[in-house]
Chains A and B, each alone.
Chain A
């Protein structure tokens, strides 16, 4: 848990850290209202810079409307985890850069935080740790009651021995943060199930939507990407495109573009809605809201990342994370003390107060 809290800390600011440590090519300055580049042209430019690669996804940059990414892999069936991101200018369609992010500090922190470089088993293991963390919080609430029976809320006995002070810090910070730690802990657990949720959706709703096309192969020549996005945006009014999955990738069938659209408020911008566009005819096949288990995953992401309320929220997230580290640290200390002495912390404190009481009265 300490590892998760410590690696999570820089991840709150991963965007700012990357900006600071790694220079990137800036997209062209454009006047507001400048039309977007033709996506087919943009894609062609990206692929010209990526010999021997095929496009998997086209992604609109959430944080910078002037930039887009093309995610490319060696074959269409290759694991997209190892894909490279090619940054493109969203207005001119020109190539910007495609840095190798795998050596970056934030990437290493992310891997340690999500799967410890061990793939799905690593993720599920950390998920299990997250569940234990939630259980620990609940047991902490239960033992909070007896240890606070004689104390006012917010007691901090600063003149007492370290074990008492740290118990107070543990109780105080623990109970103050309890809602935040439960929410961040549990949404983190949900995030570790992302791969499983995706599989469920693939074999559930996606298979249903594309059932009649399941025997088709990947078309040798795809219809226009630009018009596929236009058809999708027209089919789902009021939503903007977030990313496109190319036919044959994990987010769609072998013969459909899947255009994922998002809303405009913080919460609806997380709830993606796919529109499947037939890549042989260019026509809309189907568009449905995601099932509840995918929506739950989408909603739990911002609640874990803390990236949905501007910089002040990120800073608060960081402070709350540091306080959680303190709760964990004092908790480990109290547990070790208890193991060493063989008596419970509460008993040890009762004994020290018994020793101190006569001294104080004399």
Chain B
């Protein structure tokens, strides 16, 4: 049985992703070109992570 996690352990990754998302949301407002690229990468991260986690477990367990 795992030990109960602390709040910090639970929210460390979500906070990191949240900060990156905010950077992405603002970056494309600030400028074009590179700024747009930063925005695409940081906002694609949660999408990629979602598919990574859902598909990974399915493969491991099947």
Query: Which residues 111-161 of A sit at the B interface, judged by CB distance below 8 A?
Result: 144-145, 148-150, 153-159
Contact with B along A165-180 (1 / 0, CB 8 A): 0000100110111111
Residues in chain B near residue A37, CB distance under 8 A: none
Whether B40 pairs with A156 at a CB distance below 8 angstroms is: no
Determine the main DSSP class of B at the interface with A.
Answer: helix
Whether B43 pairs with A313 at a CB distance below 8 angstroms is: yes
Whether B18 pairs with A178 at a CB distance below 8 angstroms is: yes
Question: Which B residues contact A (CB, under 8 angstroms)?
Answer: 1-2, 4-5, 7, 10-14, 17-18, 21-22, 25, 28-32, 35-36, 39-40, 43-44, 46-47, 49-50, 52-54, 56-58, 61-62
Q: How many A-B residue pairs have CB under 8 A?
A: 102
Whether A267 pairs with B29 at a CB distance below 8 angstroms is: yes
From A179, A313, A316, B17 is in contact (CB under 8 Å) with A179
Nearest A residue to B13 by beta-carbon distance?
A: A153
Residues in chain A near residue B1, CB distance under 8 A: 150
Whether B29 pairs with A316 at a CB distance below 8 angstroms is: no
Q: In the bound complex, how far is the Cα of B36 from the Cα of A172, in angstroms? A: 26
Whether A169 pairs with B29 at a CB distance below 8 angstroms is: no
| Residue A99 is within 8 A (CB to CB) of chain B in the complex | no
From A144, A312, A323, B50 is in contact (CB under 8 Å) with A323
Q: In the bound complex, how far is the Cα of B7 from the Cα of A175, in angstroms? A: 14
Interface size class of A (residues with CB under 8 A): 35 or more
| Residue A5 is within 8 A (CB to CB) of chain B in the complex | no
Interface pick from A20-28, A49-57, A253-261, A302-310: A302-310
Whether A320 pairs with B47 at a CB distance below 8 angstroms is: yes
**Mind listing 19 A-B residue pairs with CB under 8 Å?**
A148-B10, A149-B4, A149-B10, A150-B2, A150-B5, A153-B14, A155-B57, A173-B50, A175-B17, A176-B17, A176-B46, A180-B21, A180-B43, A266-B29, A267-B29, A267-B30, A309-B39, A313-B36, A320-B47
Whether A172 pairs with B31 at a CB distance below 8 angstroms is: no
From B18, B25, B54, A172 is in contact (CB under 8 Å) with B54
Whether B43 pairs with A156 at a CB distance below 8 angstroms is: no
Whether A176 pairs with B50 at a CB distance below 8 angstroms is: yes
**What 5 pairs across the A-B complex have the smallest Cβ distances?**
A309-B28, A179-B21, A176-B46, A154-B53, A179-B18
From A155, A309, A316, B47 is in contact (CB under 8 Å) with A316
From B18, B25, B53, B61, A303 is in contact (CB under 8 Å) with B25
Beyond A150-B2, A156-B56, 19 additional contacts (C-beta under 8 Å) are A148-B5, A148-B10, A149-B4, A150-B5, A153-B10, A154-B49, A155-B57, A172-B54, A176-B17, A176-B49, A178-B14, A183-B22, A183-B25, A265-B30, A267-B30, A302-B29, A309-B39, A313-B36, A319-B47
Contact with B along A283-304 (1 / 0, CB 8 A): 0000000000000000100110
Residues in chain A near residue B36, CB distance under 8 A: 309-310, 312-313
Q: In the bound complex, how far is the Cα of B51 from the Cα of A66, in angstroms? A: 42
Q: In the bound complex, how far is the Cα of B12 from the Cα of A267, in angstroms? A: 31
Looking at the assembled complex, report how far the CB atom of B25 sits from the nearest CB atom of chain A, in whole angstroms.
Answer: 6
Q: In the bound complex, how far is the Cα of B53 from the Cα of A2, in angstroms? A: 25
Q: In the bound complex, how far is the Cα of B48 from the Cα of A320, in angstroms? A: 11
Residues in chain B near residue A175, CB distance under 8 A: 14, 17
Asked if A149 meets B47 with Cβ closer than 8 Å, knowing A158-B57, A312-B40, A313-B28, the reply is: no
